Structure 1
């Protein structure tokens, strides 16, 4: 049957960050087309009411399983299920299933040791589900060519995958007259793959070299990373301001107050702050990784695994290049050995 009967939006666990921003954008465009929806109860204050039958999903195993069962029982032949949370349905579906895949971590066998045990177990399970049930999916939608390549590498060359990036339609432009308060800004939450640890290590290295550029962060204040940031500020006298979790309008204002975006994240499906900064013509200093080159042209790049590389990229952008090492002859080496 080719005629679409109903559109089911399945989006449990989408409640924060770029995923929630994209869900809001999609919902504003598609609200009149959606017939049934599962949405995370933690997004209750954000998502406006719509015409669709709505079921709130709590962040518990029982609530998630109940939503999966409800989805299996309600979807009929000819219906379309959009899994906005990036996971395949646990139960087979009678309708067509499209998965909007945003999490590169699920497409890799890399170590998860930097995550908590609870998170590691969840990610292992999600990777297993993706590998085991991908054959049930009619189409995967991703946002960049490198993400599509990674999907095929993980799930097989014949997997149906489409590249279709989208963001909020009304991205504000920068007000160039706004006073710059921060040299650099990094808009990111506290997950390990956001790579704050090496960014902060680079800032400590710069302080050791006598440079203290100002940096604005948006790490939630209730996290252990926030405490670590304050400890490093005191120890190294860093010029770092952690502003905590910000609203979309506050993030826009922060871009306008910043001289450049620094982006050390190890993995992203899109990297929304890169697009936001680029739309404001903000210089971008970012990891030399495929997801960055998919969408922007940074002014400086670095190895995200090296604090030295990050620090050197910052120095280059500030016009304060580190002197290169003087290479000596063997006579000088001999004098050093004998000294």
Structure 2
């Protein structure tokens, strides 16, 4: 009997990184993976996996579970959603989408919030009293207790991230900034771009911001930059790990205005490269890092002031992470009965 690691909704961003770490650290002979057809992983890694691949949907998930569930002793759901059928076996749900439990001030439309609410109700409907839940921070634990009604005794905390401390010579005179994120509204890109444009004009200085978003969304953002602005906005699109490592190495300042995060894994990654973190003054940030500077992410003026402090050489404090990687603890936890 084996463990099923259900990653049917995992194909990008932080969820993909967590899946990669699990693949790297778990004993392969103990598990079978259920993978999303959209997931892109190197062929040499894929060949090492005992896995099934489906087109992600609850219909396909349910079909797989009905046919194969007897083969497993433990089911680990990595995509927030419990098994689509009731299971009287050990089930672990890895929950990492804060928008399901807190969409306030997220910038989402009423329709988008309604869809999230329906999905949340569906997750609650599928949950069973004996299911176990895993989150990455105390803040997320508190949120799923309050919003999802999950029993506190059924929740464990295992921060999972890749961390290799790099030694890089930094100059605080650098004017290059990096923001690794998607295009979604809660990432707060419009306010950030407006703030950079204003700061460049106020200080009569060139500042560069590097992004990693889809190109068609990038084109829409360019309209917020005034003509003849000193602001240099650069988009790298979806990048490989090698290119991302280069970006972390080359940019002294990592700015993070996101309004909602379950963890904020790129903050940890940037800190490992010695970047100065300029962050939204929000609880999720304080859970995982001690940044070099804070700003109000709802205020363009506050972001501008933070950028001007950088230009004026006032941001000198080194940033530090406040959490430890628990991937080994997590893999031990999910394999303890196998």
Q: TM-score, normalised by structure 1?
A: 0.82
Cα shift readout 1:97-126 (whole Å, capped 9, x = no counterpart): 111111000112537763595x65652332
* 3-state SS in 2 of match to 1:135: coil
The alpha carbon displacement at 1:71 in A equals 1.6
Q: Report what 2:264 is aligned to.
A: 271
Give the aligned partner of residue 192 of structure 1: 185
Cα deviation 1:175-234 (Å, max 9, x = unaligned): 32799975211011111111111111211322342444221111111x3x2112333346
Name the SS for the 1:209 alignment partner. helix
Alignment equivalent of 1:229, drawn from 209, 221, 236: 221
Structure with the greater alpha carbon radius of gyration: 1
Separation in structure 1 between the aligned mates of residue 63 and residue 87 of structure 2, nearest angstrom: 10
User: 2: distance between equivalents of 1:125 and 1:27?
Assistant: 31
Alignment deviations for residues 78-104 of structure 1 (CA, whole Å, 9 cap, x no partner)? 711110111122211132111111100
Q: Give the Cα–Cα distance (whole angstroms) in 1 for the partners of residues 189 and 77 of structure 2.
A: 30
| CA–CA separation in structure 1 for the residues paired with 2:2 and 2:150 | 30
Q: Deviations over 1:228-274 (max 9, x none)?
A: 23333463622211121111111110011111100011111211111
- With over 3 angstroms needed to count, the CA separation of the structure-2 counterparts of 1:21 and 1:109, relative to structure 1, is closer
Q: 1:215 to 1:246 in 2, by over 3 A?
A: same
Alignment partner of 1:41 is 2:37: yes
- For the 8 Å contact 2:254–2:275, the answer to whether it is kept is yes
Pair 250,107 (structure 1): closer, same or farther in 2 beyond 3 Å: same
SS of residue paired to 2:267: helix
Higher mean C-alpha deviation, range 191-200 or range 203-212: 203-212
Change (3 A) 1:36 1:155: same
Provide, for residues 286-334 of structure 1, a one-character-per-residue CA deviation record: whole Å limited to 9, x for no partner: 011111111110111111111111111121222278xxxxxxxxxxxxx
- The SS at the match of 2:23 is helix
1:254 counterpart = 2:250: no
* CA–CA distance in structure 2, aligned partners of residues 290 and 192 of structure 1: 19
Match of 1:296 among 284, 289, 292: 289
- C-alpha contact 2:32 2:49 (8 A) present in aligned 1: yes
**C-alpha distance 210-104 of structure 1, shift in aligned 2 (>3 A):** same
User: Conserved in 1, the CA contact under 8 Å of 2:293 and 2:306?
Assistant: yes
Identify if the C-alpha distance between structure 1 residues 87 and 28 changes in structure 2 by more than 3 Å, giving closer, same or farther.
same
Aligned to 1:325: none
The answer as to 2:217 corresponding to 1:220 is: no
Q: Distance in 2 between matches of 1:116 and 1:45?
A: 35
Q: Answer yes or no: is the 8 Å Cα contact 2:171–2:252 preserved in 1.
A: no
Q: How many pairs are equivalent?
A: 310
**Per the alignment, do residues 58 and 149 of structure 1 end up closer, same or farther by CA in structure 2, a change over 3 Å counting?**
same
Ranges in structure 2 where 5+ consecutive residues have no aligned partner: 315-338
The match for 1:123 among 116, 119, 122 is: 116
Q: 1:228/1:236 Cα in 2 relative to 1: closer, same or farther (>3 Å)?
A: farther
Compute the displacement of 1:72 (Å).
Answer: 3.8
Q: Distance in 2 between matches of 1:42 and 1:162?
A: 29
3-state SS of paired residue (2:38): helix
How far apart are residue 142 of structure 1 and its match?
A: 0.8
Q: Contact between 2:190 and 2:224, CA under 8 Å: does it hold in 1?
A: no
Match of 2:318 in 1: none
Instruction: Indicate the structure whose relative CO is greater, using CA pairs within 8 Å and at least 6 residues apart.
Output: 2
Taking only aligned residues, the RMSD between alpha carbons, in angstroms, comes to 2.7
In 2: Cα distance, 1:142 partner to 1:310 partner:
30
Alpha-carbon shift at residue 130 of structure 1 (Å): 2.3
Deviations 1:139-169 (A, max 9, x none): 1111111111111121237341111112125
Aligned match of 1:153:
146
